[in-house]
Structure 1
Amino acid sequence: MKRANHVVRIAVAAAIAAVGGAAQAQSNVTIYGSLDAGVAHVSDIGGASVNRVDQGTMQPDRFGFRGTEDLGGGMKALFHLEGGFFTDTGNQTNANRLFNRLSIVGLSGSFGTVTLGNMPDIVFDYAGKVSNGFQLTNWYLFHPGNLDSLANTSQFNNAVRYTSPTYNGLTGSAMVGFGEQPGDSKKGRNVSAGANYANGPLKLVLAYSRLNDRAAGYAGTYLGSLGLGNATTVFNRMTTWAVGGGYTVGDWRLNTVYTQVKVDLPALSFKQKNLDLGAAWKYGEKSTLNMGYTHSEQGDAKWNQGSLSNVYAFSKRTEFYVQGAFQKASGAAKFAIQNGTGVSSDRSQWVTTIGVHHLF
């Protein structure tokens, strides 16, 4: 009898362990991150050249946690937390927000995906992925002031987003960030929508965003170079349209995106237009050559930029890169101002970087 009871206890314990293992297998959590730093030379910032260590030029420095739980019936719970930092100093990109890049919780199923929290807009999520800055892995190639949000420097707070299931390669998304101002539902409210089509080697995107009462923040340096404001300036409205696409053929990957941003300031309005053309050639098992051209204009002010870089992959997680970009201002634009470099004292500026990027 004792032996029989012992066998029963073992069987029960094994069953409990099996159930616990199955339950554990239904959930997963991933910890990930990206560190990137390189030695950069900028030809002209305020009249002088500078050598420095720049961070996140291939990919933004970040760390994060993401996970899902299988709820049964094809439904899953999900979360995603992501914070940015600077590899060269160890500081957070936003000292007041640990997970400043992304902080969401949601549900997904046959109905699509619903997420709530702090997240970037759909212009970044869809159009940003076919820009030169993303496809050619070069932070300097995002547009002056990042007014079109193709780089993730501004997010929607208090946001709700819906993304549809994918039908024949087509996915749609819409989101709203509530301003949460009693008596004025429009103040601080942000909306965004878009569509993404992916079928084999072809990808096409269309996206829209409208932001109310956004502080200039990161774009303040760009506004200052034009005498239009600074980091404390608040935009009444920012309206962005973006369309673009990508195509892969053989060892080549091609990309293009066009954005138009209308900015309404308290005393004036202006439009910024940007066009990217890019190509990446994988000419060896571990080597990729990236080439790009960008044209930006705001009224009579114009900027033309060319870029070239080479990336060597030691492994799937570690890369060595050499990159360069040159920008020439013309028309009413008196200063070159590449993304993240600082304002030149004249109409030309070039920047070169040699660095290492690692994913974990």
Structure 2
Amino acid sequence: MKRPLIMFAALGALASTAHAQGSVTLYGIIDEGLDMVTNNKGGHVYQMASSVMQGNRFGLLGSEDLGDGMKAIFTLENGFNLNSGALSQNGLMFGRQAFVGLSTRYGTVTLGRQYDSVFDYAAPLAAGQLGAGVYGAHPGDLDNSNIDYHDNNTIKYASPSFGGFKFGGTYSLGGTAGNFTNNQIWSLGASYNQGPVALGAAYLNARNPGTGMFSTSASSLPETLMTPIYSGFMSANTFQIIDFGGAYTFGPATLGVTYTNAKFMDLGSNAMPTGAKGPASGYARNSTATFNDWQVNLQYRFSTALRFLAAADYVNRNGLTEQNGQSVEGAKYLQYDASLDYSLSKRTDVYVMALYQRAIGQDSTGGAAVAAITDTTAISSNGKQFVGRVGIRHKF
């Protein structure tokens, strides 16, 4: 009897030691507020909306020390709508992130559903990530800086920091038998953050974006809600993003600039997916829709608790030709963002924000461009839209 008891005690001690070397952290964000949105079907909309300043989430973060500087890590993170209790990301259980990997002194490699390099390295310098929320993303979240679209089947590498410099990349397998490049996505990025200077740059390339990057399984919103800013370009063969950003801090103020060049290349190469609407005859084969986006943003800290953000964003898209020879005018979008955030504690803050967008020209559907502030379900009935919001955010 003594020998089995000793064996069980030894096994218990080993289990306790192994458990002590690992950890699992429960975390989350809850964001809720009241919105007023103008020019929806000729009137104003007053609505409760969640996941605006930051996306609501509930996650598990795990780490196990394997020795010699190596760790096994994982993240499982869902998104949810606080007003209905429903899962976001089209009902996926872990729609925001779901990955496992290894972390070493040479960098981190992870596998699963993950964020791309644009979000990791360039997006932190844009207004949407600085305090304007998803509504303050570049119009239509054109460069995915607010991660409306997630990458499935992704291999990611992230370097350690070298004096403030970091770099990394992702590759997402399309998973199509007999066609290795179909629906694939790859991205590269780098950033530098040292002292008052912050810089970021990233590149992304997505093949067959209508069935890959912008598909229902990848997006945070149903395809029927895809913004008219670019929904008509889902027949493209390739979607490409080049994104740069920089910021400089002086005293309590930080001045930032970003530039994004986004292209839907070789239009007409694929059938339009369900929910995406374009001109009746479609765009001329091999044409390219090019968006150039410039943003200037300013942050100012009145105190450790009170922060102000203002931003101006301008998007210009080229004119195009339909297959029937009819011309489609280019489109322009001008957006102003402002927010004031006050921290009640390290975990809870309240905020107000105001955003205005003006659209002119013809959008991707071939009709008159309408204002479409990112992720508002109340798309404007004309070229102007204003959103005002009062909200609260809690982190745990």
Does structure 1 residue 336 correspond to structure 2 residue 371? yes
Deviation at 1:247, TM superposition (A): 2.7
Report the number of matched residues: 348
In 1, Cα distance between the equivalents of 2:238 and 2:313? 25
The one-letter amino acid of 1:296's match is V
Report the CA distance shift for 1:258/1:180 in structure 2 as closer, same or farther (over 3 A). same
Counterpart of 2:157 (choices 145, 162, 179) is 162
Unmatched 5+ stretches in structure 2: 216-220, 269-282, 319-329, 364-368
User: For residues 1-80 of structure 1, what are the structure 2 equivalents within 5 Å?
Assistant: 22-80=17-75
Give 3-state SS (helix, strand or coil) of 1:214's partner.
coil
TM-score normalised according to structure 1 size: 0.89
Does structure 1 residue 307 correspond to structure 2 residue 337? yes
Q: Which residue in 2 is equivalent to 1:97? A: 92
Question: What is the RMSD of the two structures over their aligned residues, measured on CA atoms?
Answer: 2.4
Q: Which residue in 2 is equivalent to 1:228? A: 232
Q: Which residue in 1 is equivalent to 2:115? A: 120
Q: Report % sequence identity.
A: 32
Give 3-state SS (helix, strand or coil) of 1:126's partner.
helix
In 2, Cα distance between the equivalents of 1:43 and 1:210? 35
Give 3-state SS (helix, strand or coil) of 1:239's partner.
strand
The one-letter amino acid of 1:330's match is I
Report the CA distance shift for 1:250/1:306 in structure 2 as closer, same or farther (over 3 A). same
Q: Which residue in 2 is equivalent to 1:256? A: 257
Deviation at 1:87, TM superposition (A): 1.3
TM-score normalised according to structure 2 size: 0.81
Report the CA distance shift for 1:227/1:238 in structure 2 as closer, same or farther (over 3 A). closer
Higher-strand-fraction structure: 1
Instruction: Work out whether residues 225 and 343 of structure 1, in 8 Å CA contact, stay in contact via their aligned partners in 2.
Output: no
Q: Which residue in 1 is equivalent to 2:394? A: 358
Deviation at 1:44, TM superposition (A): 1.1
Instruction: Report the more deviating stretch, 284-293 or 345-354.
Output: 284-293
Deviation at 1:332, TM superposition (A): 4.5
Instruction: Work out whether residues 320 and 357 of structure 1, in 8 Å CA contact, stay in contact via their aligned partners in 2.
Output: yes
Deviation at 1:72, TM superposition (A): 0.3
Instruction: Work out whether residues 261 and 273 of structure 1, in 8 Å CA contact, stay in contact via their aligned partners in 2.
Output: yes
Deviation at 1:348, TM superposition (A): 1.4
Instruction: Report the more deviating stretch, 20-29 or 257-266.
Output: 20-29
Q: Which residue in 2 is equivalent to 1:243? A: 244
In 2, Cα distance between the equivalents of 1:64 and 1:183? 36
Counterpart of 1:320 (choices 346, 350, 357) is 350
Report the CA distance shift for 1:258/1:347 in structure 2 as closer, same or farther (over 3 A). same
Unmatched 5+ stretches in structure 1: none
In 2, Cα distance between the equivalents of 1:115 and 1:69? 14
